[in-house]
């Protein structure tokens, strides 16, 4: 199968456009047109993982974390990034990363953690503000009627099935054209940013066929389907130590670093897989009892300030189920293709017990 076909499916689930500005998700090594017979799924594309891919004859490595994160000035064997890249290129292995775009979608990294904890009523914790657009068509009522409502029907059929229904508005307005008042049908359709090029194509078809004009504007409405973290509720309230035990068991973690317990019942749980301290205030504002994340620094633990319990379970631990998530998405879509889960534990942190 062409690498591009596999990646297109992943990018339908988590469009690259939703990655954070500092990120480097996408195809890091290789060519979308290359044919591959199997792919290896991992959290980190370390040198050991590339060795595993060579052994397993996988010509594509799909990782959560990008091996190249910031600008490179050289590719040499003197650092681990260079060694990975040289080995991958020499062995004709492509490396792809699906990172913060998979963090930012409703069925991504955080939903996997929420499902492990069996949370209900899950929502994005911090919905993004700049990911919705609106297209507005203006058609003269008279023109539309002259051809049996064809313009209106064409707009509806072109834009059926991929818009956010609640946002679609159709109305008649009076507008002045060349000094006379004209009745116009105004159709407004809201759509997510990842569909922008498709919308432009469809709008051009309408414009070419009927001369109907359109305008595009960016909305500042929060997009409940795209954003950071997740919040959900436990099916049954627990006390705090009970919940810590449950968390340890469900997420298979050895150690949890946490702030002081508040002697409260636990029901609302905020989550952010990986480094999530930037969401602590949001978790407090939304009334979460616990915030499960990773990479908290000493002083950041103080910021919990008796308002929430922060549970730092470790970066690798919070994201280790991401491999399974990718595997599930891919093997559902391509049941006859050989997707393999890496067996290597890439956690750079070890615990001395
Ligand atoms: Zn991470």
Express each pLDDT in 281-338 by its tens digit: 999 999 999 999 999 999 999 999 999 999 999 999 999 999 999 999 999 999 999 9
| Average pLDDT rounded to a whole number, residues 197-219 | 90
Q: How far is the CA of 98 from the centre of ligand 1 (A)?
A: 11
Tell me the C-alpha distance between 95 and 58, whole Å. 11
Examine the domain organization and report whether 121 and 240 are in the same domain: yes
- Pick the last residue of a domain from 221, 238, 272: 221
Instruction: Identify whether 352 is part of a domain.
Output: no
275 C-alpha to ligand 1 centroid (Å):
7
pLDDT tens figures, 136-146: 988 888 888 88
Residues 117 and 231 in one domain: yes
Let me know whether 117 and 244 are in one domain.
yes
- Ligand 1 midpoint to CA 271 (Å): 13
pLDDT for residue 165 is more than 60? no
| Cross-strand bridge partners of residue 195 | none
Residue 351 located in a structural domain: no
- 187 C-alpha vs ligand 1 centroid, how far in Å? 42
Number of domains, the chain = 3
Please give the distance, rounded to the nearest whole angstrom, from the Cα atom of residue 311 to the centre of ligand 1: 16
- Name the token pair of 299: 């002083």
d(CA 69, CA 85): 13
* 260 falls within a domain: yes
Residue owning tokens 């991504």: 108
Q: Compare 94 and 190 and report the one with higher pLDDT.
A: 94
Segment 172-189, tens digit of pLDDT: 777 777 778 888 888 888
Based on its alpha-carbon atoms, the radius of gyration of the chain, rounded to whole angstroms, reads 24
Task: Confirm whether 349 is domain-assigned.
Answer: no
- Encoding tokens for residue 317? 């631990």
Helix (H) and strand (E) counts in the chain: 13, 15
pLDDT of 161: 64
Instruction: Tell me how far the alpha carbon of residue 189 lies from the centroid of ligand 1, in angstroms.
Output: 35
Does residue 350 belong to any structural domain of this protein? no
Going from the Cα of 320 to the center of ligand 1, the distance in angstroms, rounded, reads 9
Nearest to 343 by CA among 27, 12, 41, 63: 41
Q: How much distance in Å is there from the Cα of 334 to the middle of ligand 1? A: 26
Q: How far is the CA of 246 from the centre of ligand 1 (A)?
A: 23
What is the predicted pLDDT for the residue at 102? 98
Q: How far is the CA of 61 from the centre of ligand 1 (A)?
A: 17
Q: How far is the CA of 251 from the centre of ligand 1 (A)?
A: 16
DSSP secondary structure letter of residue 78: T
Residue 131 alpha carbon to ligand 1 centre in Å: 22
Tens digits of residue pLDDT in 221-230: 899 999 999 9
| 267 within a domain of the structure (yes/no) | yes
Angle subtended at Cα 237 by Cα 235 and Cα 241, rounded to the nearest 5 degrees? 120
Distance from the alpha carbon of residue 113 to the mean position of ligand 1, in angstroms: 13
- Alpha carbon of 197 to ligand 1 centroid (Å): 30
Dihedral sign of CA atoms 75, 348, 37, 9 in order: negative
What is the whole-number distance in angstroms between the Cα of residue 295 and the centre of ligand 1? 10
- Specify if 347 maps to a domain: no
Which of 187, 221, 255 is a domain's end point?
221
348 within domain boundaries:
no
Residue that the structure tokens 């534990």 belong to: 345
Q: Are residues 176 and 263 in the same domain?
A: no
Q: How far is the CA of 176 from the centre of ligand 1 (A)?
A: 55
Pairing of strands 257-258, 132-140: unpaired
Report residue 167's pLDDT band, with 50, 70 and 90 as the boundaries: low
**In sequence order, what E strands does 45-168 have?**
60-65, 94-97, 120-128, 132-140
pLDDT tens-digit readout, 74-109: 999 999 999 999 999 999 999 999 999 999 999 999
User: In angstroms, what is the span from residue 20 Cα to ligand 1's centroid?
Assistant: 13
Q: pLDDT band at residue 162, thresholds of 50, 70 and 90?
A: low
What is the pLDDT, as a whole number, of residue 212?
A: 87
CA distances from 187 to 135, 162, 269, 332 (A): 8, 15, 40, 37
> What's the 109 CA to ligand 1 centre distance in angstroms?
9
Backbone angles phi, psi at 70, to 5 degrees: -125, 175
Q: What is the CATH number of the domain that holds 191?
A: 3.30.70.120
Domain encompassing residue 39: 3-101+321-341
Ligand 1 center from residue 8 Cα (angstroms):
22
Ligand 1 centre to CA of 146 (Å) is 58
Residues 197 and 303 in one domain: no
Q: Is the pLDDT of residue 164 over 70?
A: no
pLDDT digits (tens, 9 = 90+) for 4-57: 999 999 999 999 999 999 999 999 999 999 999 999 999 999 999 999 999 999
CA of 213 to the centre of ligand 1 (A): 44
Position 301 scores a pLDDT of: 98
CA of 318 to the centre of ligand 1 (A): 8
pLDDT digits (tens, 9 = 90+) for 230-255: 999 999 999 999 999 999 999 999 99
**Sequence-ordered strand ranges (E) for the chain:** 26-29, 38-44, 60-65, 94-97, 120-128, 132-140, 169-177, 180-192, 213-219, 223-239, 257-258, 265-275, 290-294, 309-312, 338-341
329: domain CATH number is 3.40.1390.30
């Amino acid at each position: 199968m062409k690498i591009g076909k596999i990646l297109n499916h992943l990018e339908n689930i988590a469009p690259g456009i939703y990655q954070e500005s500092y990120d480097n998700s996408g195809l890091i090594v290789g060519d979308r047109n290359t044919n591959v017979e199997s792919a290896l799924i991992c959290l980190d594309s370390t040198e050991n993982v590339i060795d595993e891919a060579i052994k397993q004859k996988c010509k594509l490595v799909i990782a959560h974390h990008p091996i190249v994160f910031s600008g490179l000035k050289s590719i040499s064997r003197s650092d681990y990034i260079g060694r990975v890249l040289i080995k991958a290129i020499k062995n004709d292995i492509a490396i792809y990363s699906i990172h913060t775009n998979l963090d930012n979608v409703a069925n991504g990294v955080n939903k996997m953690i929420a499902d492990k904890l069996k949370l209900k009523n899950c929502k994005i914790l911090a919905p993004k503000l700049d990911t919705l657009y609106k297209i507005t068509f203006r058609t003269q009522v008279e023109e539309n009627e002259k051809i049996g409502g064809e313009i209106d029907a064409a707009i509806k059929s072109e834009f059926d099935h991929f818009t956010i229904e609640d946002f679609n508005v159709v109305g008649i307005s009076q507008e002045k054209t060349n000094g006379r008042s004209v009745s116009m049908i105004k159709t407004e359709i809201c759509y997510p940013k990842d569909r922008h090029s498709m919308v432009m194509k469809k709008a051009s078809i309408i414009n070419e066929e009927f001369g109907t004009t359109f305008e595009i504007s960016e909305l500042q409405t929060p997009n409940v389907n795209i954003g950071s973290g997740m919040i959900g509720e436990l099916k049954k309230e627990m006390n705090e130590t009970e919940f810590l035990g449950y968390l340890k068991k469900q997420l298979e973690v050895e150690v949890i670093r946490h702030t002081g317990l508040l002697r409260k019942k636990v029901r609302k749980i905020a989550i952010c897989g990986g480094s999530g301290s930037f969401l602590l205030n949001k978790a407090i504002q939304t009334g979460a009892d616990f915030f499960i994340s990773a990479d908290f620094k000493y002083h950041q633990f103080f910021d919990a300030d008796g308002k929430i319990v922060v549970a730092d379970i470790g970066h690798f631990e919070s994201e280790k189920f991401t491999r399974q998530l990718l595997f599930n998405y891919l093997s559902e879509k391509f049941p006859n293709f050989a997707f393999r889960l890496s067996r290597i534990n890439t956690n750079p942190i070890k615990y001395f017990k």
